[in-house]
Amino acid sequence: MSERDISDFDLINPTESHSMLREMVRDFVEKKVESQALEHDKNEKFNLELFRELGELGLLGITVPEEYGGSGLDTVSTIIVHEELSSSDPAFTLSFLAHSMLTANNLSLNGSEEQKLRFLPGLCSGELIGCMAMSEPDYGSDVMGMQTSAELNSDGNWVINGNKMWITNGSIDEDGTPADLVWLYAKTGEDSKGRPEISTFLIEKGMDGYSVGQKIYDKSGMRASNTAELVFENCIVPPSNLVGSVGGSISHMMRNLEIERIALAAMSLGIARRSLVEMNRYASERHSFGKPIREYGQIQRHIAESYAEYKAMQSYVYNTARMINLESGGYRLDTDGVKLFSSTVAKNIADRAIQVMGGYGYVGEYVVERLWRDSKLLEIGGGTIEMHQKNMTRDLYKYPESILR
């Protein structure tokens, strides 16, 4: 690549198609998402009707090949969409992530041809709402300790028992209607070394024994995204709904976590950007002691440090996305790293925005307090910051050359 090529390269919008996608999503956010965000946060209500409009835009199956109803776009495209949506409504975006990346993308990469043809068109259009069920009441970061079990019965069907907790899109409305399709991880035995074997099942709404245990209310943030406990009590699942081989889910479960973490980092980027925009604007409009507050040193520190951290986060997020191939794993160091860095930076920038805006920053009408509340989940969901620190330290011990790349 020549010096001119390097200077012309746009990391954030590498192609004209990426620029057009960003413009389309940003327009949708301004016209449709922004006006409903505060109300749905207050009411703890998921905007299902608006969510289905994402299907009309081709976003619900953004990475799914076109032959199954998707758009067949790349990792950078998914980052653009998550960033733009999160700049207005992170909770709405979280539901999008659970559906498009953790369900539809997972199925398109790992499902059988029959499973893809049966479920992907509905997931891409929004006719079906999907979720991924991994965490349990007593097992979150310790995912390999999951207790949900699947056993073969005498007629060849699988019988699943257990509870899944903190499931985004687990319930899709106020009546406790369960998700149309669950990408479920369950323990199907142990290998010769006593390690758990994890398998994946597609659970459909209407299957006996599958229900919503409870919808989780009174969350600090992400209130416009439904979170639920799912209950599987002697749930009968046909063999055709087993994804891949028995015990063969560890690799794509780990790859799934990598994809989730880069998408969550993109959400942090959207939160940070919007918080910085609001902080910067307010500092120009607000006067104190006869001059704009942006002329005071402490306010300048909040704005300047936030901008520098935002730009560092932006580069890390998009550079990591550029390297990721959705069809393969092996990117844990940087997907953990970018989420670790971005989630805390986004929370800190939102916190500074509240501080700069004073009392106005502390009320819902001025957006940043909601962004601040929403940002906290990003230090927990998809892996806690403590787990990222552990993983990264372990990986750097094994691959010290990563530091020099």
120 CB-near residues (< 8 Å, 6+ apart): 61, 64, 68, 69, 70, 104, 107, 108, 111
In terms of pTM, does the model score above 0.85?
yes
Residues that are catalytic: 260
Q: Rounded to an integer, what distance in angstroms lies between the CA atom of residue 180 and that of residue 170?
A: 9
The H or E element containing residue 88 is none
CA nearest neighbour of 68 among 24, 112, 18: 112
Helix locations, 45-103, DSSP H:
48-56, 75-86, 90-99
As averages over each run of 10 residues, the pLDDT of the chain (405 residues) reads 67 95 98 97 97 98 97 96 98 98 96 98 98 91 86 96 97 94 95 88 97 96 97 98 93 86 97 98 94 95 98 97 85 95 98 96 93 97 94 95 91
pLDDT of the residue at 9: 85
- For 72, phi and psi rounded to 5 degrees? 65, 35
26 CB-near residues (< 8 Å, 6+ apart): 84
Q: Rounded to an integer, what distance in angstroms lies between the CA atom of residue 183 and that of residue 255?
A: 14
- For 384, phi and psi rounded to 5 degrees? -70, 160
131 CB-near residues (< 8 Å, 6+ apart): 98, 99, 102, 103, 167, 168, 169, 170, 179, 181, 182, 183
Architecture of domain 3-125: Orthogonal Bundle (1.10)
Beta strands in 208-319 (DSSP E): 210-215, 227-237, 242-243, 287-288, 291-292
pLDDT of the residue at 29: 98
- For 370, phi and psi rounded to 5 degrees? -70, -40
Architecture of domain 130-248: Beta Barrel (2.40)
- Counting Cβ atoms within 10 Å, is residue 203 exposed (0-12), middle (13-18) or buried (19+)? buried
pLDDT of the residue at 252: 81
Range(s) within the chain of domains with CATH label 1.20.140.10? 251-404
CATH topology of domain 251-404: Butyryl-CoA Dehydrogenase, subunit A; domain 3 (1.20.140)
**Residue written as token pair 């995912």:** 143
End-to-end CA distance of the chain: 18
Helix locations, 105-171, DSSP H:
106-110, 113-125
CA nearest neighbour of 337 among 405, 253, 271: 405
pLDDT of the residue at 360: 93
- For 366, phi and psi rounded to 5 degrees? -100, 15
CA nearest neighbour of 54 among 148, 155, 132, 124: 124
Range(s) within the chain of domains with CATH label 2.40.110.10? 130-248
Q: At what angle do helices 250-285 and 368-377 cross, to 10 degrees?
A: 160
Give the β-pairing of 130-133 and 210-215. Answer: unpaired
Give the β-pairing of 227-237 and 149-152. Answer: unpaired
CA nearest neighbour of 199 among 262, 245, 265, 141: 245
Range(s) within the chain of domains with CATH label 1.10.540.10? 3-125
